[in-house]
Amino acid sequence: MMMSHEQESTPHTLRILYGSQTGNAEDMAKRVGLQAKSLGFSVIVETMDDFQLKELPRQHLVIFICSTTGHGQEPENMKNLFNFIRRKDLPKNCLSRVRFTVYGLGDSSYAKFNYVAKILFKRLKEIGAQPIQELVASDEQHRYGCDGAIYPKLDELWLKLNKVVPPTGSHQDCYSYAIGPSTQDNVEKIFDENFRERYNLKEAVCVKNQRVTDPSHFQDTRLLCFKSIQDIHYEPGDVCTIYPQNSTENVQEFIKLLNLDPKQRVKVNKLDPDYMVNYLYDFIPDGTTIEDLVRYYLDIQSVPKRSFFEYLWPFSGDKLERDKLKEFATTEGQEELYDYCIRPKRTILETLMDFPNTIGNIKLESLLDMIPPIKPRSFSIASAASVHPNEIHLIVGVVSYKTNLKKSRKGLCSNYLARLEPVEGIKCISQSSIIRFFIRRTSFKLPQDDKTPIIMVGPGLGIAPFRGFIQERHRRRLNADGVGSFPDTVFNHLYFGCRYQSKDFYFEEELERYSSKSTIRLQVAISREQNKQYVQDLLKADSDLIVRLMRNDNAIFYVAGNSKLPEAIRIALAEMFSQLDRSDESSDYGEKVVAHLEASNRIQYDCW
Span 498-542, pLDDT tens digits: 999 999 999 999 999 999 999 999 999 999 987 899 999 999 999
Give the length of the chain.
Answer: 608
- Identical fold for domains 13-164 and 454-607, yes or no, is yes
Q: 269: burial class by Cβ within 10 Å (0-12, 13-18, 19+)?
A: exposed
Asked if 348 and 304 count as a contact pair (C-beta separation under 8 A), the reply is yes
496-522 burial, b if ≥16 CB within 10 A, otherwise e?
A: bbbbeeebbbbbbeebeebbeebbbbb
Q: Which of 13, 326, 306, 37 is nearest to 168 (CA)?
A: 37
Provide the residue ranges of all domains of the chain, joining segments of one domain with +.
Answer: 13-164, 177-370, 454-607
Bridge partner residues of 203 (DSSP): 436
Per-residue pLDDT of 283-298, as tens digits, reads 999 999 999 999 999 9
Q: Does residue 169 surpass a pLDDT of 60?
A: no
Find the mean pLDDT for residues 419-443.
Answer: 84
Q: Measure the CA–CA gap between 174 and 8, rounded to whole angstroms.
A: 26
- pTM listed for this prediction: 0.90
* Homologous superfamily of the 177-370 domain (CATH): NADPH-cytochrome p450 Reductase; Chain A, domain 3 (1.20.990.10)
Q: What share of the chain is helix, strand, coil (3-state, %, to 5)?
A: 35, 20, 45
Asked if 234 and 445 count as a contact pair (C-beta separation under 8 A), the reply is no
SS3 124: helix
Classified by CATH at the fold level, domain 454-607 comes out as Rossmann fold (3.40.50)
Going by the annotation, the residues of the binding site for FAD are 377-380, 411-414, 608
Going by the annotation, the residues of the binding site are 20-25, 67-70, 105-114, 140, 377-380, 411-414, 527-528, 532-536, 608
- The three-state (H, E, C) secondary structure of 472-502, written as one string: HHHHHHHHCCCCCCCCCCCCEEEEEEECCCC
* Mean pLDDT computed over every residue of the chain: 91
Categorize the per-residue pLDDT at 6 as very low, low, confident or very high, splitting at 50, 70 and 90.
very low
Q: Measure the CA–CA gap between 375 and 298, rounded to whole angstroms.
A: 9
C-alpha dihedral sign at 248, 249, 252, 254: negative
Q: Write the single-letter amino acid at 374.
A: I
Q: Measure the CA–CA gap between 158 and 83, rounded to whole angstroms.
A: 29
- DSSP code of residue 330: S
More confident residue, 460 or 173: 460
More confident residue, 8 or 282: 282
The string of DSSP codes covering 140-170 is TTSTTTTHHHHHHHHHHHHHHHT-----SS-
Give pLDDT, residue 488: 58
Q: 193: burial class by Cβ within 10 Å (0-12, 13-18, 19+)?
A: exposed
Asked if 158 and 164 count as a contact pair (C-beta separation under 8 A), the reply is yes
Asked if 98 and 127 count as a contact pair (C-beta separation under 8 A), the reply is no
Going by the annotation, the residues of the binding site for FMN are 20-25, 67-70, 105-114, 140
CATH, domain range 13-164: 3.40.50.360
Give pLDDT, residue 585: 67
Q: Does residue 141 surpass a pLDDT of 80?
A: yes
Helices (H) and strands (E) in the chain, counts: 20, 22
Going by the annotation, the residues of the binding site for NADP(+) are 527-528, 532-536
* Percent of the chain predicted with pLDDT > 90: 76
Per-residue pLDDT of 65-98, as tens digits, reads 999 987 788 999 999 999 999 999 999 999 999 9
Find the mean pLDDT for residues 222-233.
Answer: 96
Least confident of 31-40, 285-294, 434-443: 31-40
Tell me whether strands 136-139 and 521-526 are parallel, antiparallel or unpaired: unpaired
